[in-house]
Chains A and B, each alone.
Chain A
Amino acid sequence: MIIELRRRHYYTWLTIGIILPIGFVWAVLNIPKMPRDNFNKTTVAAYPNVIQSKETSSLKVNLRQNTVMQSVMAQGALKGGYQIELTILKPLVGAANQLYLSTTADKPLQTVLGALGNRGTYYFPLPNTFTSESPLILTVYDAIKQKQTEQIVLKK
């Protein structure tokens, strides 16, 4: 009986010792390559010009533009220089909220901007491909529940 019990332990741990590390490594290797850093007031300065604003019960969004970049863009040399300022007014439902940017309503999860956490203000620079002419659909998406938490549309 005792030898039998020991054998059961041995084979159990031999199995766990093979399967569990494989599962562990597989899961770690498959961690999605998405932005995990938030941009908050302490590390990123807000761009000076507020172009558009919108507010819901839980979020406030400002589309901001950099004046210096604006002058450069005016010369036709560059695009970009835009920034999203997002303030979480009350805690979001969901544990793993990501902010996505899209320019088309049928693909709301086009570009991931970054992760959202607790209440506070977050800053996300927009990709250089974005211009003030583009429609702007911001979607807060819970990666665990795979569910849209919030959506804000800034129109031209």
Chain B
Amino acid sequence: MSANYTGILWNPQKKVYDSVIAAGSIVYLGSFIGLHLILNPEITMETLIIRAFGTLALLMLHIILCIGPLCRINSVFLPLLYNRRHLGVSMFVMAAVHGIFNILQFHAGGDVNPLVSVFISSGHFPAAIHFPFQPLGFIALMILFLMAATSHDFWLKNLSPRVWKSLHMMVYVAYSLIIMHVVLGIIQLEKSPALIILLGIGLCTVIALHLMAALKTNRQDTAKNVYYSVTPSRDDDESVKGYILVGNIDDIPDNRAKIVHSGNESIAIFKYNNKFSAVSNVCKHQNGPLGEGKITADGCITCPWHGYQYRPEDGCSPPPFPEKVSTFQLLKKGEQIWVNSQPFPEGTFIEPLLIHPTNEN
């Protein structure tokens, strides 16, 4: 996988992922519309479309927001994360259909511009039923539009991962606006409590998963000692001057890494095939934590977020991919591993540190 945006790499996994999204959406819309036509044959087609697409977008948004924390809690969910953007764009399309039909049905018949009408057609803030819930949905839709429009790797590369990630974290604002849009809108007039209960369950699930994931990773960062507290070398020990202590050889499991921080650098030290190599902990794709990934059967470090790969000895992605990360010099002293916090230029080959040099001969 690569951040190269010259073309969409359609692999079997992406095709399966998109097929499941399409099939699931069709089944949901068909079931929703069919059931409504049976139970409430008087309903108009416009209302049916608004409700069907609105509830589908809401359901998809909940699924999207659950994928991230689920992956942090259990790596078995990671395949769902790799193509999450496809689900996000699909969700935006559903939400856009809901929004467009709403504007056409409720705001296009007057003498005011329909978009202006969305913002001025209601507005008594103290009362929940009179709260202008439609602007909340409209603003959320604009945020989702921005995210969908910039979801391609082209924008990730040109905006920089930091800006791109910040922009896409706006989904949390959009989610909050959408929840209030629903609860101050249709729920104020809904006869059945089912929607309130389902929405409450969805909200609690999303919040609980995110907090659980945060607590788990926080424990990992501290108790499990993944992020190692920096121990600078002693001034009087010239042999390790400029290096920081990583730990003992046995601290790192095979094909895994330990992460240390020094100043602005976050360094992942991998152990594999009786060797150690150190690379930047920050993936070029979305700043994912390379050190939380592993070295796979092909000998490459694989980012746990989206599967981007790098060779441990030079930090380069395998051909034809162009991504490179910084590498770092390692030092072995007794049973201790030390790393120099000064990075080499991205893609610089550094001879791996052998754990037992004699065994290699």
Residues on A facing B (Cβ under 8 Å): 1-3, 5-6, 8-10, 12-14, 16-17, 19-21, 23-24, 26-28, 30-32, 36-37, 91, 93-96, 115, 117-120, 143-147
B20-28, B176-184, B316-324, B326-334: which lies at the A interface?
B176-184
Residues on B with C-beta less than 8 A from A31 are: 128-129, 187-188
Residues on A with C-beta less than 8 A from B289 are: 2
Q: Are B169 and A94 in contact (CB under 8 A)?
A: no
Q: Are B129 and A30 in contact (CB under 8 A)?
A: yes
A76 to chain B, nearest CB (A): 39
Q: Are B106 and A95 in contact (CB under 8 A)?
A: yes
Residues on A with C-beta less than 8 A from B100 are: none
Residues on B with C-beta less than 8 A from A117 are: 42
Query: A2-B287, A27-B180, A94-B106 are known contacts. Are A20 and B217 too (CB-CB below 8 A)?
Result: no
Residues on B with C-beta less than 8 A from A8 are: 169
- Report the bound CA distance from A24 to B201 in whole Å: 12
Query: A31-B128, A95-B106 are known contacts. Are A20 and B266 too (CB-CB below 8 A)?
Result: no
Pick 26 A–B contacts, CB within 8 A, sort by A.
A1-B287, A2-B266, A2-B288, A3-B261, A5-B287, A9-B210, A13-B210, A13-B211, A16-B175, A16-B210, A23-B180, A24-B179, A24-B199, A24-B203, A26-B128, A27-B187, A28-B183, A31-B187, A32-B188, A36-B189, A36-B190, A95-B105, A115-B191, A119-B42, A144-B121, A145-B106
Q: Are A24 and B183 in contact (CB under 8 A)?
A: yes
Q: Which of B278-307 contact A (CB under 8 A)?
A: 281-282, 287-289
B98 to chain A, nearest CB (A): 13
B103 to chain A, nearest CB (A): 12
Query: A8-B169, A20-B207 are known contacts. Are A118 and B42 too (CB-CB below 8 A)?
Result: yes
Residues on B with C-beta less than 8 A from A17 are: 207, 210-211
For residue B74, CB closer than 8 A to chain A, the reply is no
Minimum CB distance partner of A88 in chain B: B42
Which of B172, B184, B266, B287 contacts A12 (CB under 8 A)? B172
Q: Are A27 and B172 in contact (CB under 8 A)?
A: no
A18 to chain B, nearest CB (A): 9
Q: Which of B22-52 contact A (CB under 8 A)?
A: 40, 42-44, 47
Minimum CB distance partner of A12 in chain B: B172
Q: Are A143 and B282 in contact (CB under 8 A)?
A: no
For residue B83, CB closer than 8 A to chain A, the reply is no
B53 to chain A, nearest CB (A): 15
Q: Which 8 A-B residue pairs are closest in the complex by CB-CB distance?
A: A30-B128, A118-B42, A13-B210, A10-B214, A27-B183, A36-B191, A17-B207, A2-B289
Query: A13-B211, A93-B109 are known contacts. Are A30 and B282 too (CB-CB below 8 A)?
Result: no
Q: Are A6 and B282 in contact (CB under 8 A)?
A: no
Q: Are B176 and A20 in contact (CB under 8 A)?
A: yes
Q: Are A16 and B187 in contact (CB under 8 A)?
A: no
Q: Are B214 and A13 in contact (CB under 8 A)?
A: yes
Q: Are A16 and B172 in contact (CB under 8 A)?
A: yes
A124 to chain B, nearest CB (A): 16
Residues on A with C-beta less than 8 A from B221 are: 3, 6
Q: Are A30 and B122 in contact (CB under 8 A)?
A: no
Which of A16, A28, A32, A145 contacts B121 (CB under 8 A)? A145
Residues on A with C-beta less than 8 A from B176 are: 16, 19-20
B75 to chain A, nearest CB (A): 16
Minimum CB distance partner of B200 in chain A: A24
Which of A3, A6, A27, A91 contacts B188 (CB under 8 A)? A27
Q: Are B184 and A27 in contact (CB under 8 A)?
A: yes
B183 to chain A, nearest CB (A): 4
Q: Are A96 and B189 in contact (CB under 8 A)?
A: yes
Q: Are A21 and B203 in contact (CB under 8 A)?
A: yes
Residues on A with C-beta less than 8 A from B196 are: 28
Residues on A with C-beta less than 8 A from B131 are: 27
Residues on B with C-beta less than 8 A from A13 are: 172, 207, 210-211, 214
- Report the bound CA distance from A96 to B190 in whole Å: 10
A90 to chain B, nearest CB (A): 10
Minimum CB distance partner of A11 in chain B: B214
Q: Are B121 and A20 in contact (CB under 8 A)?
A: no
Q: Are A3 and B227 in contact (CB under 8 A)?
A: yes
- Report the bound CA distance from A4 to B130 in whole Å: 40
